[in-house]
Structures are given as C-alpha cells and as structure tokens.
Chains A and B, each alone.
Chain A
C-alpha cells in the first residue's frame, strides 16, 4: 500500500480479526471493569496465545491450501510424552528426546500428507484417523513402557533456557518462539513466491498444478509443519513443567480452528493472512483468559466466543465481498 486508505485496510483478510480484537477488548474494559494496563501486560493470556498460536499458524496455512489437520490434538501430548519417556524415563540425552519428539511430528505429518495426496479421502477424515490412532498409540506406549500415564522429565539448564523457562517469572519463553514464527511465516507467505503458490493451490488446485506448482509436495510439507509444530508445543510444555501427561491437547483442535477462522482465513481455502491468524489467536486468548480479569462469570466465555465467531465470520464475508467488488475509481 503506497497511500493510506481505510477502505484498503478493510479489504485485507485480517480486517475482521483486528476489529474483533478491538471489540472484545473494549467489551471487557467497558463491561467487565478491566484495567487495560494490567490486562495488556498479563502473562496468562500471552502464554495461552503463544502455545495456541504456534499450532494455529500452520493449521491456518493448511486451511488456506484447502486442507484441515485435526491430528494436532494428539500430537501435542505425543510430543510431550515422547521427550519425557526418552529423556526422562530412559534417561537419554535431552537432544535425543528433542529429536524423537520432533521426529514423531515429522513422521505423522508425512503420513497425513501422503495419505491426503494419494487418496481422495478428505484430509479432515484422514487426520481424524491419525488423531485417534496417535491417541491410542501414545497411551498404550506410555503404559507399556513406563507403566504410567504421566512421566517426569528433568531437562538440563540449557534446554530449559531455550524451550521451557519463565521470563520475568511468568512469561513462557515460547512467546518468543511464537513471535519469531509469526515473523518467519509472514515473510514467507506474503513476501516470497512460496506464498503465491499457497494461495494459488488453495484457490484452484488443478490450475495451480498446470501452472507448474508442485502442489503435492507443498501439501506434504504443510502437514509436516503442522504436526511438528504441535509436537514442538508439547515438547516445550514437558520441558517447562518437568512432566508430561498423555491427556490434553484436544482443546487445541477447536481453539486453533476458531482462531484461524476468526482470523479471516476462508474455510474453503485460497484466502487468508498470517497477520489475520495472529489477530484471531490474540482475540481468542483474550476472551478465553481475559474473562478471569473481569467480574463476568467465567461460564460466559464460551457464549462470547460463539457470538464472536459468528460475528467475525460474517464480517470476514462482507469484507471479502467488498474486496471482490472493489474496482478503483477512475483516477486523474
């Protein structure tokens, strides 16, 4: 954008998400009695947003490409259990644990990706299958190997410093990872040719393939990215909390999809933005965690999320239509 224009801003994919964020924050301040200053600096929602955001980003990119990955729900506990079993229970070096944890993500991502490109089964169904399968595998393996559904892990200082420490006493280091990833993804998706390929394949896969884009390879890579991101989040959690459980992670499926959709990504693919996904995640985190700062009863948060989701999608639709029908006024 060379010149600033409000209309141009509204036509961007993240417009709805940005407005949602402002609306939710305003709602809390006006009706919930939240002090904006206290709230903005609070660690709880930032930590929540960072963990969610790292998963939501690749899930959003997959959605732009026209695919869905819900196996992330099992990959988060799988990532944390695998490092805890390898480096905690069996006492292997932490690097081995990290490699196993991330490697598992790569393998599951490859399975998801290859099944998606080799069969005509929708990726929702394929990843539903791997979700359930991985859940069973993680539970059985940990009970079989350790006789327990929860395993302790004592990571060395350097690993804690990189993956699982609290900055300033309450901010998880993963926030920095998230920020870096947002920057990295935003650059690749919006500034380089790779991003163009992603939007093209999400818009019309056959035409994209005819234009010489390796859509199959891109699809597999994206699935690897999302499964590995999920196991990364699980791994960081295990290092931070010194233990891992087989349960948990299921909420991430729902939360990530809501964040991505509120963030302006089109469910059917071909449209969206990294910044939108960032705003969507922030909005979700503010509602989910911010409710504790208000004198509003916690039980209302689901209602707020539901209403917000609906409003955001409606807004996104109308902004997208604005973008479609936009044609510049005759200039000069």
Chain B
C-alpha cells in the first residue's frame, strides 16, 4: 500500500484568538483530484495556504509520502513539488509569455558574466508546454500575458507549475469568473494533470465544475470537515444541499462568533 502524496492529520489553524481550521484530516493520492468545497469564509484558502507553506499549522501533522514535513516558507513547499496557483496568480500581465513562464528559472546562454536570457528557448518551451494541454491558440511566446483570456492565463499558470515538476497541484478557484468555454479549458488542463499522475486539490464554488473533474470531495463548513466522500457516493443535489445547508446551520453560530471576534 503506497502512501498518499500529501496528508493532513488533525490540523488546526488559528490566527491569534480566531480559530479558522478545526481538526482537519485529509489526504490526496497521485493521480487523484480532490475537490474542496465550502462557502465563503469556510477556510478553504486558509487550508491550502497551510499546505503551500504560507501559514504554519497551529497544531497537527503534515506528511508527504508518509514522512512528516514542515514548511517555513512557500519556497520550501514549492521545492517539495507542491505548486499553488491562485486565480490569475503566477503570471505577469505586462510580461511576455516566454519571460513570464520562466520567472526565477530563466534559461541562459553564453558564458560567465555574459550569460544572457535565452528568449528563443524560453518562448519555444513555454508555447509547447501550454499547447500540450490543448490550448493551441497560444502560439507566440512574445505575446504579453495581459492579452490572453482569463482561462488561457490560468491554463498557462497550471502548465508552468506542471512543467517544473509539481507533484501536488493546488488550484484556488481557478474557474471563478470564467465563462463556460474558458472554464472548460481549465478543467481539461486539470484532467490532463491527473492523467500525468499529479495529485490535484481543486477549490471551487461551482458544483458542476467539481463534479466534472473530482474523484473525491471534501466539504468545509466553518473550518471543520463536514463531509468527505468519493465520486458517485452523493448526488449533485445532495452536494449542493450540503454546501448550502451547512451555511444555514452555521448562520446562528457565525453571529455569535463575529461578536466574539470583534470584542477580542
């Protein structure tokens, strides 16, 4: 039995007096897509920031391939192959596709102090990497990122993460604010990543998008894991209800908590 690529055991996270995550246990295997669902403020972003090394868990354990890990900086997580793509993150609107793709890992040519940025190689590799995901409209590495559509930018960011050897891909609402066609681009890229054996954690508010790619679903309500189930175990309506029902129940508590938060 192989270990999950990434696993959380009883993780809590609080910011000072505010508890955001309660006792989260979660794991993701290679080639599996986990959809993280939950209402606004449920703690989804906080959870993935903890995975990505932005926050340290207040308590609990994090394991990679069965061995405990702890990240001091996002760079540490990235070095271990955990790539996080925030919406429109990871790309730079006024840079060219080729330059943006290689930020921080620029290919160079030449010797010694005259090592220069190898624009040709950068452009060719970047264009090839996105085209492999079926985004064939991107064919010139000299184009500026800002001129791409939201879906193309998102796909480019994901392609970039995978190109540099990501084993775990964390996507925070990659399809938010995208049209149907653009969103399907991104979903196709996610499927391709899964096919390559990458473990994917996918956050979305849209049940349709989750159902399309998810193998496993985890619903967060007010920082706690309210439900966790595999594909096919629950119907589309049940999932929707779970997301909405959780909110209705949590409403009263939220008022109390808000009051407590403003006092402290």
Contact (A327, B117) CB under 8 Å given A196-B106, A203-B95: no
Contacting pair B103 A200 (CB below 8 A):
yes
Which residues of chain B have C-beta atoms less than 8 A from A193's C-beta? 106, 108, 115, 117
Nearest Cβ on chain A to B116's Cβ, whole angstroms: 4
Q: For window 118-166 of chain B, which residues contact chain A by CB distance below 8 Å?
A: 139-140, 143-144, 146-147
Which of chain A's residues has its CB closest to B108's CB? A193
Contacting pair B144 A323 (CB below 8 A):
yes
Type the 1/0 row for A284-319, where 1 means its CB is closer than 8 Å to any CB of B. 000000000000000000000000000000000000
Which of chain B's residues has its CB closest to A206's CB? B89
Contacting pair A324 B144 (CB below 8 A):
yes
A207 partner, pick from B89, B99, B116, B144, beta carbons under 8 A: B89
Type the 1/0 row for A205-244, where 1 means its CB is closer than 8 Å to any CB of B. 0111111110000000000000000000000000000000
Contacting pair B95 A199 (CB below 8 A):
yes
How distant is the Cα of A324 from the Cα of B146 in the complex, in angstroms? 6
Chain A CB within 8 A of B4 CB: no
Contacting pair A195 B117 (CB below 8 A):
yes
Contacting pair A203 B104 (CB below 8 A):
no
Range for the number of chain A residues in contact with chain B: 20 to 34
Contacting pair A200 B95 (CB below 8 A):
yes
Chain B CB within 8 A of A191 CB: yes
Chain A CB within 8 A of B78 CB: yes
Chain A CB within 8 A of B93 CB: yes
Contacting pair B104 A213 (CB below 8 A):
yes
Chain A CB within 8 A of B74 CB: yes
Nearest Cβ on chain A to B172's Cβ, whole angstroms: 12
Which residues of chain A have C-beta atoms less than 8 A from B75's C-beta? 210, 212
Contacting pair B143 A196 (CB below 8 A):
no
How distant is the Cα of A191 from the Cα of B84 in the complex, in angstroms? 29
Chain B CB within 8 A of A266 CB: yes
A328 partner, pick from B92, B103, B105, B140, beta carbons under 8 A: B140
Chain A CB within 8 A of B90 CB: yes
How distant is the Cα of A325 from the Cα of B148 in the complex, in angstroms? 8
Contact (A266, B94) CB under 8 Å given A192-B115, A210-B74, A324-B146: yes
Sample of 15 more A-B contacts, CB < 8 Å, known A212-B105, A327-B143: A191-B117, A196-B95, A200-B104, A203-B93, A203-B95, A204-B89, A204-B92, A207-B89, A208-B103, A210-B75, A211-B103, A211-B105, A212-B78, A266-B94, A324-B144
List residues of B whose CB falls within 8 A of some A CB.
74-75, 78, 84, 86, 89-95, 99-100, 102-106, 108, 115-117, 139-140, 143-144, 146-147
